[in-house]
Amino acid sequence: MKRILVIDDEAGARQLVRRLLEREGYGVVEAKDGEEGINMFRADPCDMIITDLVMPVKDGLKTILDVREFAPTVPVLAISGGGTIAKERYLSAAGFIERVETLAKPFTRDELVNMVRQMLNDDFVTE
């Protein structure tokens, strides 16, 4: 079973993603911010990370860059509904990092599941 770490400061968003992915047969663990997520991943690595970009403590971009230092090939899906700047800007910045894809909130079940399936494919490569 593939395991996915979901990092989001909004409990409702984490739980929704968890339910959608568990219905598809994935194992899911949750973290409330980037700092907690990094600590969890170091202790027990997952096959993929889904992280919100706008969070307190450690935002998603910093989280992705920190993870890249010790897990350069783990696929990461960056999600954002925006913040003080438009969500497209957050997502655009994250999209420049290797093996990172982006998905704007709100997204559909099919958009999330299809992106996760694609990213967990062994030959997934971003351009």
Residue 95 confidence class, pLDDT cut points 50, 70, 90: low
Residue 55 has pLDDT above 50, yes or no: yes
Q: Residue 38 corresponds to which amino acid?
A: I
Q: Are strands 100-104 and 76-80 parallel, antiparallel or unpaired?
A: parallel
What residue ranges define each of the domains in the chain, with the CATH number in brackets? Answer: 3-120 (3.40.50.2300)
pLDDT tens digits, one per residue of 106-117:
899 999 999 999
Compare 97 and 56 and report the one with higher pLDDT.
Answer: 56
- Rounded distance, CA 56 to CA 61, Å? 12
Percentage above 90 pLDDT, the chain: 66
